Amino acid sequence: MAVMGARPCWIVLHEPRIVRTLLGKPRAVRAINVSPDNASDFEKSIAAQLPKR
């Protein structure tokens, strides 16, 4: 869950991953929304770790 008012940064996965919810039920996740303090630096650091296409 992202912080209200913050710029959302979505991490989209290549394929769904099964995670456990707060109550322990399995759920498929395709994307994760994070809200870093500095979105542009976060995007640069992630891009530097991804293989070049």
pLDDT over threshold 70, residue 13: yes
Of residues 40, 26, 25, 31, the one with CA closest to residue 1? 31
pLDDT digits (tens, 9 = 90+) for 25-49: 999 999 998 888 888 898 899 889 8
Of the pLDDT bands very low, low, confident and very high (cuts 50, 70, 90), residue 20 is: very high
Q: What pLDDT shows up at residue 23? A: 96
Quote the strand ranges of the chain, DSSP E. 9-20, 26-34
Residues 6+ apart with CB under 8 A from 6: 35, 39
Residue 47, amino acid? A
**CB contact at 8 A, 18 and 28:** yes
Report residue 53's pLDDT band, with 50, 70 and 90 as the boundaries: low
